[in-house]
Amino acid sequence: MAVALASSLLLVPPAHAADADGHFAIKGLGLQSCADYLAAREAQSPQYHQFGGWMNGYLSASNRYEDDTFDLVPWQSTGMLAAWLASVCEENRDAQFVRVVALLVNALGEERLRARSAVVEYETDAGTDYVYAEVLRRAQQRLADAGLYAGPINGALDAATKDALRRFQAERDLAATGLPDQRTLAMLFDGRAASAAD
């Protein structure tokens, strides 16, 4: 995904809504360059976490104002998105951070949840995590398409879904937990993104 984002950086306008001339005010860290973002990421400085907060604010506003959208990033963590942004910024160090985030929003448009979805909670070694039922339904369909799942496409994290996830994880040399963790979903939905899921 990052390669596709990097190659199309200059082809995508920075936002869908603006004034009549296509201009809008950019606030805060969005004005910074990719080089600034990469430096903050490398140092793991407080500013790096502020970049993540800025990105999450942009995504929340996009969820609010994009047509036919409930959640643009229904399974991607902030850490995964930050890693994707870093890989795009590596090739576009002079680009404004806002442009790269806008590119991410545009690139993820087709994966978005168009309507509210129930949330399914599950236990991990680190505690309780969650995933949208619609994301599980999409995962079940992908697993079924790969011949790993024969159960109902219902968005439930049942025994059959966990078994299919374990088979998929074992095939991809992932920890075979049977859980829809970030690395598993990244590999299932976009194998190129799996390295960013750490």
Calculate the average pLDDT of the chain: 87
Among 24-28, 40-44, 141-145, the minimum mean pLDDT is found in 24-28
Tokens of 183: 């690395």
The pLDDT of residue 190 is above 80: no
**Neighbouring residues of 103: CB distance < 8 A, sequence distance ≥ 6:** 5, 8, 9, 12, 88
Torsion of CA 110, 111, 112, 116, to 10 degrees: 120
- Tokens of residue 104, six digits: 């991410």
Flag whether pLDDT at 195 surpasses 50: no
CA distance 4 to 188: 18
Instruction: Evaluate if residue 49 carries a pLDDT over 60.
Output: yes
Tell me what the mean pLDDT of segment 168-178 comes to: 96
Q: How far apart (Å, rounded) are the C-alpha atoms in residues 35 and 29?
A: 12
Q: Is the pLDDT of residue 92 over 80?
A: yes
Average pLDDT of the residues in 1-6: 48
Could you tell me which residue, 25 or 5, shows the higher pLDDT? Answer: 25
Q: What CATH architecture applies to the domain 119-197?
A: Orthogonal Bundle (1.10)
Q: What is the pLDDT of residue 6?
A: 47
Instruction: Answer yes or no: is pLDDT of 151 > 50.
Output: yes
Q: Take residue 195 and report the two structure tokens written for it.
A: 């390295």
Tell me 129's DSSP state. Answer: E
Angle between helices 182-189 and 78-91 (to 10 degrees): 50
107 pLDDT higher than 80: yes
Residue 16, pLDDT score: 53
Check residue 45 and give its pLDDT.
Answer: 96
Say if residues 2 and 87 touch (Cβ distance below 8 Å): yes
Contact 34, 93 (CB under 8 A): yes
CA–CA distance, 39 with 76 (Å, rounded to integer): 23
In the chain, residues under CATH classification 1.10.101.10 are 119-197
Would you mind telling me the total number of residues written for the chain in this entry? 198
Percent of the chain with pLDDT over 90: 64
Q: Which residues make Cβ contacts (< 8 Å) with residue 68, sequence separation at least 6?
A: 114
Angle at 34 between CA 21 and CA 68, to 5 degrees: 50
Query: Is residue 197 very low, low, confident or very high in pLDDT (cuts 50, 70, 90)?
Result: very low
